[in-house]
Chains A and B, each alone.
Chain A
Amino acid sequence: MQIDVQTVNIEQKNQTFTHLKNRFGDKKIPSRYQEASYDLQAVENLHYRPTWAPEQELYDPNLSKIRMNDWYDLKDPRQFYYSTYTLNRAKQQETMESNFKTVESLSLIEGMPDPVLKVAQDLLIPLRHVNYAANMNNTLVCGYGYGTVFTQPCVYHAMDNLGIAQYLSRLGLMIGDVESLEAAKQDWMDSDAWQPLRRSLEDLMCVRDPVEVFIKQNFVLDGLLYPLVYQRLVDQNLVEQGGSGISILTQFMTNWYLESKRWVDSVIKTMASESAENKAVLEEWIDSAANHFTSVLLPVAGLAVAGNQADELVSEAHDELLQRAKKAGLFK
């Protein structure tokens, strides 16, 4: 049986907004992502120069060594706009809530071997401060980057990092209450293992080129940290030792990294293919930062595994990162 629902058909005047028609033609109706992301930023006839940096413009593409003819080429392949972003995260949040409840009701933390809990405490909880730095760095990119399409995902990424920091904090409270967080902070501030990374992040928080910050934080550091810590040390090593409960509570981080990779890699690929100059700048940043962050992550890995294994895992992560860079068109 066929049901014909009659709605009155009124002929449209305009398929879309002119700025979208100029970009994409008017054969297809633009997506909500396109409507939400293209050309929303003011372009010309800006009124006043920033009093905080009078040599700059209010929206200034020259803040970066990277140059794009059209910053709107940097489309997010995930096509996140506010609505799809929050709906996505809300689903993940529900899963995590359920995970926390499960771990708690089954007393999985209490049942865990001490060495596993020690690794969780020593390795994972201090990372909440690393995520805080990532939140600050992504906020900078959103504020000072150029073009909605490039800057929009950065505020989502910043809030994601805050969310991860909060999940790690909750994990800490489960493992050892307030004392866990206090101890982790103490380690972050004083222990030998964390100082090189902390210093690096303080250095990175002094960089004002938004694309440089984007690359070094989101591609290099996270590109080493997540495969090393979450994929290998937690999801493989800790699970083998009886720490599935921990892995469940860091599920968000693992999935988030895989999702974000698509975006970060796409941005790099587009920037690299734009010009030989961009490619050279990206290669220089990535090469030096990859070497540097690899070395500062070595003692961090050492909190979970013995010296030579740490070396191995960290090297693996470094090689994986360079493979990613090659796939994005660099170092070739």
Chain B
Amino acid sequence: MDIKKTPKKLNVKEKYRLMTRDLAWEPSYRDEKEIYPYVDYEGIKVHDWSKWEDPFRLTMDAYWKYQAEKERKYYAIIDAHAQNNGHLNVTDARYLTAIKLFLQGISPGEYAAHRGFARVGREFAGVGPQVACQMQSIDEIRHAQTQVHAMSNYNKFYNGFKDFANQRDRIWYTSVPRSFFDDAMSAGPFEFLIAIGFSFEYVLTNLLFVPFMSGAAYNGDMATCTFGFSAQSDEARHMTLGLECIKFMLEQDPDNIPIVQKWIDKWFWRGCRLLTLVAAMMDYMLPKRVMSWREAWNIYGVENGNALFRDLARYGIKPPMHWDDVEKSIDHTSHQIMLGLYQWKFGTAFHSWTPTASDIEWLKEKYPTTFEKYYLPRWEYAIAQKEAGGEYNNFGLPKLCQTCQLPCLFTEPDDPTQLAHRETEYEGEKYHFCSDGCQHVFEQEPEKYVQAWLPMPALMQEPLKGDLAAWMEWVSLEPTAAGEYANSEDKANFEKWRKQVSTD
């Protein structure tokens, strides 16, 4: 045997390099550009792929071992939850609105991320990001599936879960998260990483996960809470991928900085608009609230964000454009969104309700400068309509923002009494936006955003032609899944079943 043996003890970094980076080779029969066709067109320059650092350095054997342990624990709890009618432990059936929104809106995004990370896991020309992205791809299908499995039990007893697949593609509010993920997936590999890996999975992730998962814990939803904790340990790896990808891009070439800055600006804004649905969930949909959206923003947005951008300042990165507009919106958007969802409750596959007296006290306390002044009067009006035997429904269709696809129900950052509206003309058509932020995003890439499938205009076109009943059938929205919580099957059933299992 003529192989020289040097009994070296390899350190973790070196061993991992041999287990990953060293597997690849410089192609000599085909051009690298043929094997990696999408890696240049965004203008990002990479001089040395080997500079990509992976802090967690999981080899596949370790991945299988630790993930399997998590899976065992997770399904044991899900099974116990199902066997013991765990759904009856939630505070009350209003809580279900939050998880219906989650299954309809967020779970599809997990699946999209799985496919998106698979693609970039193939398209990057360096093994470091390839392996990291592939691991995220397999993690994301884990999340999509564990969510569907957790919700499966709720689906057996309540409305609003069973048609999530059709509603993902057709109903109006799911278009908000769907267009977010489609936007990222249709972007190039580097932008995809900044959009999802960095902006969503790093900067904004705690604003999505802590509210939903803590909300689940506070409201007795063991299934979702368990999912949350189980997924979060994967998220820690995703967060480090997100931070690594941005540092890598910024360190490879100074020419990358302005490109990355533009992406940070865009995706921070799109992400914050997406999170307005989470804001409404936190402030209104959880019977027992964890903290207000404002409080969550202060900790996870401001404190964390500031720490992060202070760190990135050394590369010449500035905090995202429109940060101030977001800050100004924090005390307003949850109320604006919830009032919107409430008035269009006939068209949502989840229930809404007016805040109770104690809800109102909480909202006053958490939003001392805005709630009582701007939003309580509107809620009181809605409540008065109900008490007079009427209903508070707006059968007019909301005008959707071309970019974020939310209804244009936000106000001017400096004047909460003025609805914000922006317009841009492009190739003879007029496009509408809810804000400067969304208008700016559009104007950077109009040829992309004009392609968007907007659900409300689609309702007016063939084949539905404005027929609301036909639309409801097309989106699989049964009246029992929509509308006022107080009259709902879910409420009645939940209370009946709770009585069945308790002694009082």
Contact = CB atoms under 8 A, between A and B. Distances in A.
A and B are partners in one complex rather than unrelated chains: yes
Contacts of B272: none
Contacts of A165: 19, 23
B25 A188 contact: yes
Given A8-B500, A18-B165, A50 B118 contact: no
A40 B165 contact: yes
A118 B458 contact: no
Contacts of A12: 156-157
Given A83-B71, A162-B131, A51 B165 contact: no
A301 B493 CA distance: 68
Nearest to B120: A143
Contact of A48 (B19, B152, B186): B186
Interface residues of A, number: 90
Interface stretch (A126-134, A306-314, A318-326): A126-134
A316 interface: no
A328 interface: no
Interface in A132-146: 132, 135-136, 139-140, 142-144
14 contacts: A7-B83, A14-B156, A18-B163, A40-B108, A42-B182, A94-B65, A139-B121, A143-B115, A155-B138, A158-B118, A163-B60, A179-B3, A185-B22, A205-B27
B68 interface: yes
Contacts of A59: 115
Top-6 shortest CB links A-B: A90-B68, A163-B60, A176-B3, A143-B119, A143-B118, A132-B23
Contacts of A144: 119
Interface string B51-63: 0000000011101
B1 A49 contact: no
Interface of A is mostly: helix
Contact of A49 (B168, B179, B451): B451
A18 B152 CA distance: 12
B23 A41 contact: no
Nearest to A53: B38
Contact of B186 (A50, A92, A198): A50
A29 B67 CA distance: 27
Given A46-B453, A143-B118, A40 B23 contact: no
A39 to B, nearest CB: 5
Contacts of B118: 139, 142-143, 151, 155, 158
B303 interface: no
Contacts of A58: 182, 185-186
B71 A87 contact: yes
B35 interface: yes
Nearest to A125: B3
Interface of B: 1, 3-8, 10, 18-19, 22-30, 34-35, 38, 41, 59-61, 63-65, 67-69, 71-72, 74-75, 83-85, 108, 111-112, 114-115, 118-119, 121-122, 127, 130-131, 134-135, 137-138, 141-142, 144-146, 148-149, 152, 155-159, 161-166, 168-170, 175, 178-179, 182-183, 185-189, 448-449, 451-453, 455, 458, 476, 493, 497, 500-501
Contacts of B161: 14, 17
A96 B61 contact: yes
B71 A82 contact: yes
Contact of B115 (A8, A93, A151): A151
B4 A179 contact: yes
Nearest to B189: A52
Given A8-B85, A82-B146, A83-B145, A203 B29 contact: yes
Given A7-B84, A87-B68, A206 B145 contact: no
A202 B451 contact: no
A103 interface: no
Interface of A: 7-8, 10, 12-19, 21, 32, 35-36, 39-52, 58-59, 81-83, 86-87, 89-90, 92-94, 96-97, 114, 117-118, 121, 128-129, 131-132, 135-136, 139-140, 142-144, 148, 151-152, 155-156, 158-160, 162-163, 165-167, 169, 173, 175-181, 183, 185, 188-189, 198-199, 202-203, 205-206
B158 A13 contact: yes
B25 A129 contact: yes
A49 B185 CA distance: 9
B3 to A, nearest CB: 4
B182 A205 contact: no
B451 A52 contact: no
B1 A189 contact: no
Given A44-B169, A158-B134, A202-B28, 11 more contacts: A13-B159, A42-B112, A45-B169, A58-B185, A90-B65, A139-B122, A156-B138, A159-B60, A177-B5, A179-B3, A189-B26
A35 B6 contact: no
A90 B60 CA distance: 10
A86 B453 contact: no
A117 B1 CA distance: 7
B68 A202 contact: no
Given A83-B71, A143-B118, A175-B3, A162 B157 contact: no
A19 to B, nearest CB: 4
Contact of A18 (B59, B111, B162, B453): B162
Contacts of B6: 177-179
Contacts of B25: 129, 185, 188-189, 198
Contacts of A163: 59-61, 64
Contact of B3 (A41, A48, A121, A151): A121
Contacts of A156: 138
A206 B30 contact: yes
Contact of B27 (A15, A47, A202): A202
A29 to B, nearest CB: 9
B144 A10 contact: no
B25 to A, nearest CB: 6
Contact of A81 (B1, B18, B145, B183): B145
A14 B155 contact: yes
Given A48-B452, A206-B34, A176 B5 contact: yes
B159 to A, nearest CB: 7
Given A46-B182, A198-B29, A10 B85 contact: yes
B169 A114 contact: no
Given A42-B168, A51-B188, A143 B121 contact: yes
Contact of B35 (A21, A89, A94, A202): A202
Nearest to A116: B1
Given A36-B148, A40-B111, A13 B157 contact: yes
Contacts of A151: 115, 118
B119 to A, nearest CB: 4
